[in-house]
């Protein structure tokens, strides 16, 4: 973990996980995508640890010399800056009928790839995945999202995993969508 609980972004730190762990993580991420695409958001939320930080910082265009400044820091502008409790609130809102931007609900397809996984602490693994998410709604609304996720995943005693921290980094500076109620 970095300063102020930030997700570690040094993908070269730590040793690679063994092939069996990598495969189980890959299946974990595929299952997560299935839950999201099926609209099973309460079940999806169970894949996260209680102290979750779910964060999607904004980006800005910078010169090569200033690339370290191109991604907003914690407590700066973000598309998402959530906890497990705030995500639970959003999910309950979907079910309440009061989330008009998602009634009727969007249809999504989450494609997750390029998993790299490294040991980063006791029972913690730093995972990096790429995503493409297709979202359609009503007759003509269609959106694409592309980017990467960097997670801190905790291995549980029973062999399962829980995501403790997620940083979502979109490949665009401005999301040209009507709403960002999609989960990543």
Looking at residue 22, its pLDDT comes to 98
In a domain, 49, yes or no: yes
In a domain, 26, yes or no: yes
Angle at 58 (CA atoms; ends 53, 61), nearest 5 degrees: 145
In a domain, 178, yes or no: no
Number of domains making up the chain: 1
Residues 56, 167 contacting (CB under 8 angstroms):
yes
Say if residue 34's pLDDT is above 70: yes
In a domain, 14, yes or no: no
Looking at residue 80, its pLDDT comes to 94
In a domain, 5, yes or no: no
In a domain, 146, yes or no: yes
Neighbours of 72 (CB within 10 A): 17
In a domain, 164, yes or no: yes
Residues 166, 151 contacting (CB under 8 angstroms):
yes
The domain that holds 100 is classified in CATH as 3.10.450.50
Task: Provide mean pLDDT across the span 132-145.
Answer: 91
Q: Which domain holds residue 105?
A: 19-170
Looking at residue 12, its pLDDT comes to 63
E strand spans, 122-173: 124-137, 141-155, 161-170
56-112 pLDDT tens trace? 999 988 888 888 877 889 889 999 999 999 999 999 988 887 777 777 888 999 999
For the chain, give the mean pLDDT. 89
Q: What distance in Å separates the CA atoms of residue 10 and residue 2, rounded to the nearest whole number? A: 10
In a domain, 12, yes or no: no
Q: What distance in Å separates the CA atoms of residue 79 and residue 91, rounded to the nearest whole number? A: 17
Cα 114 to Cα 23, 85, 127, 128, distances in angstroms: 12, 29, 10, 8
Token couple for 51 = 């102290």
pTM: 0.88
């Amino acid at each position: 973990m970095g300063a102020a609980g930030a997700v570690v972004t040094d993908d070269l730190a730590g040793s690679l996980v063994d092939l069996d762990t990598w495969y189980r993580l890959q299946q974990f991420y595929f299952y997560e995508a299935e839950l999201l695409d099926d609209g099973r958001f309460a079940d999806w939320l169970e894949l996260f640890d209680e102290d979750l930080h779910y964060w999607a910082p904004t980006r800005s265009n910078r010169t090569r010399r200033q690339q370290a400044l191109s991604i907003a820091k914690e407590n700066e502008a973000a598309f998402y800056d959530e906890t497990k409790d705030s995500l639970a609130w959003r999910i309950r809102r979907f079910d309440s009928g009061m989330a008009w931007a998602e009634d009727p609900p969007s249809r999504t397809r989450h494609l997750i790839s390029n998993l790299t996984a490294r040991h980063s602490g006791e029972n913690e693994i730093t995972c990096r995945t790429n995503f493409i998410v297709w979202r359609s709604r009503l007759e003509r609304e269609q959106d694409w999202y592309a980017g990467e996720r960097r997670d801190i995943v905790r291995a549980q005693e029973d062999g399962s995993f829980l995501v403790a921290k997620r940083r979502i980094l979109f490949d665009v500076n401005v999301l040209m969508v009507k709403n960002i109620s999609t989960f990543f």
